[in-house]
């Protein structure tokens, strides 16, 4: 970890601003992180999985399902800055694995239930997700398809009052520890790359034929489990269909802004947290009788890191304001995601260099930040594909 809340001698100096209510929420999050995350996180990194108890503890602390309405047990806080506060506090102690797991549930599963779920579906699942008794995965990606969701082959065939689900998903966060998955499946009966109305979304609970595969050995963020999922004649009740049949890809497009905003926000947070930790280190570490901070190269590196961090934060602040107003487009969110994620990779790389040999040790916070940041240009749609989308949108104007 970087610093526990008690140990850190600095505040997160950010261009992002927060209200008094946000700061009250931060105090609650900080207490939860200090008692439930910080003491145990190294064990979770070694085990490559987190215990279910952390989810229940998070539920008791009120940090899950922030946007869920009060009638379903949530805090009814759709303002994305609350989620940003949670991400900041987890990143400050190096809790990237839990931050990722929470992001997968709160940014990639919950929005679909909130927007398209029936009242009965919300009553059934949302209170359990808020309490931490139900852990979910987002199962869109498949081997050979990646970001090209139209190439997905997982099928769901109607059989009276249910669907028979068959297929395979990969790179699924909480794939082993999760209880259910939001699954994208083709419902048009075809097997080739299909049209937009060929896919539907299903909330699939673990049952016979729903089998997690091997745990994938990731470079970083190792406390969160990632796995393949196999579905073999899984009988999914028809009432587990989310929204209308054939609208799966349309729904995903509508919620791309939140997914991309979450990655941009995480990128800015990792940049700021790593920069702050590096500042503390170079002021104390001496080489040849001088502090590392006293070398001109160090000042150049820190100046670049600071400017790029502040630019990322400004990008994120603008995106959050647009999201809260219901005006964030997929393209604008993509711009923030591409810029902030690539700057996070550069900043963590250059800061790691200033830690010297220590930064190369996997258990060191600088190494963990570097490895965590490296996921961000890939996750949620590769930056190459997002650049193409941004350019296409620009030329279409």
CA 37 to chain centroid = 17
Confidence bin at 150 (pLDDT 50/70/90): confident
Q: 360 phi and psi, to 5 degrees?
A: -85, -5
CB distance 201 to 184 below 8 Å: yes
Note the pLDDT of residue 81: 96
pLDDT digits (tens, 9 = 90+) for 88-102: 999 999 999 999 999
The pLDDT of 222-248, averaged and rounded, is 96
Q: Which domains does the chain have, with CATH numbers?
A: 20-134 (1.10.540.10), 137-244 (2.40.110.10), 250-396 (1.20.140.10)
Note the pLDDT of residue 28: 95
Note the pLDDT of residue 13: 53
CA 228 to chain centroid = 18
Residue 2 has pLDDT above 60, yes or no: no
Residue 11 has pLDDT above 50, yes or no: no
pLDDT digits (tens, 9 = 90+) for 183-214: 999 998 776 666 778 999 999 999 999 999 98
pTM: 0.93
Identify the CA nearest to 252 among candidates 144, 112, 396, 54. Answer: 112
Pick 397 or 74 by higher pLDDT. Answer: 74
Structure-token match 């989620």, residue found: 83
CB distance 343 to 312 below 8 Å: yes
Residue 237 has pLDDT above 70, yes or no: yes
- Rounded to a whole number of angstroms, the distance between the first and last alpha carbons of the chain is 46
Confidence bin at 269 (pLDDT 50/70/90): very high
DSSP code of 247? -
Note the pLDDT of residue 10: 38
CB distance 178 to 218 below 8 Å: no
Q: How many residues does the chain have?
A: 397
Residue 16 has pLDDT above 50, yes or no: yes
CB distance 186 to 150 below 8 Å: no
Pick 118 or 188 by higher pLDDT. Answer: 118
pLDDT digits (tens, 9 = 90+) for 297-348: 999 999 999 999 999 999 999 999 999 999 999 999 999 999 999 999 999 9
Identify the CA nearest to 212 among candidates 234, 193, 194, 195. Answer: 234
CB distance 298 to 32 below 8 Å: no
CB distance 149 to 177 below 8 Å: no
Residues 251-265 as b/e (b if ≥16 CB within 10 A, e otherwise) read bbeebbbbbbbbbbb
Residue 148 has pLDDT above 50, yes or no: yes
Residue 386 has pLDDT above 60, yes or no: yes
Report CA torsion sign: 11, 15, 16, 22: positive
CA atoms within 13 A of residue 4's CA, in its CB half-sphere: 13
DSSP code of 216? P
Measured distance CA(86)–CA(65) in Å, rounded: 12
Note the pLDDT of residue 4: 47
Residue 5 has pLDDT above 60, yes or no: no
């Amino acid at each position: 970890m970087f610093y526990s809340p008690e140990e850190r001698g600095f505040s997160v100096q950010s261009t992002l601003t927060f209200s008094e209510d946000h700061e009250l929420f931060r105090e609650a999050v900080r207490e939860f992180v200090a008692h439930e995350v910080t003491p145990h996180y190294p064990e979770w990194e070694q085990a490559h999985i987190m215990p279910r108890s952390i989810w229940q503890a998070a539920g008791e602390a009120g940090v899950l399902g922030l946007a869920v309405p009060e009638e379903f047990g949530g805090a009814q806080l759709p303002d994305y800055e609350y989620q940003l506060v949670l991400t900041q506090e987890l990143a400050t102690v190096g809790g990237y694995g839990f931050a990722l797991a929470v992001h997968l549930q709160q940014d990639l599963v919950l929005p679909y239930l909130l927007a398209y779920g029936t009242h009965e579906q919300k009553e059934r699942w949302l209170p359990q997700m808020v309490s931490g008794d139900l852990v979910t995965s987002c199962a869109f990606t498949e081997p050979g398809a990646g970001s090209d969701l139209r190439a997905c082959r997982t099928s769901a065939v109607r059989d009276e009052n249910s669907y028979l689900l068959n297929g395979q998903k990969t790179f699924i966060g909480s794939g082993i520890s999760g209880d259910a998955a939001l699954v994208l499946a083709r419902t048009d009966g075809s097997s080739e790359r299909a049209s937009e109305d060929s896919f539907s979304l299903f909330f699939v609970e673990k049952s016979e034929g729903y089998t997690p595969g091997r745990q994938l050995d990731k470079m970083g963020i190792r406390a969160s489990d990632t796995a393949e999922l196999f579905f073999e004649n899984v009988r999914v009740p028809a009432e587990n269909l989310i929204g209308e049949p054939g609208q799966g890809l349309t729904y995903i497009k509508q919620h791309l802004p939140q997914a991309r905003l979450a990655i941009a926000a995480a990128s800015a947070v990792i940049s700021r947290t790593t920069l702050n930790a590096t500042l503390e280190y170079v002021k104390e570490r001496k080489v040849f009788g001088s502090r590392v901070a006293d070398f001109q190269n160090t000042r150049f590196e820190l100046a670049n890191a600071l400017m790029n961090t502040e630019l990322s934060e400004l990008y994120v602040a603008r995106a959050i304001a647009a999201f809260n107003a219901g005006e964030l487009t997929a393209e604008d969110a993509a711009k923030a995601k591409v810029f902030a994620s690539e700057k996070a990779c550069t900043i963590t790389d250059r800061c790691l260099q200033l830690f010297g040999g220590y930064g190369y040790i996997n258990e060191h916070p600088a190494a963990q930040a570097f490895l965590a940041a490296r996921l961000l240009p890939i996750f949620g749609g590769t930056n190459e594909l997002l650049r193409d989308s941004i350019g296409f949108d620009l030329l279409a104007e």
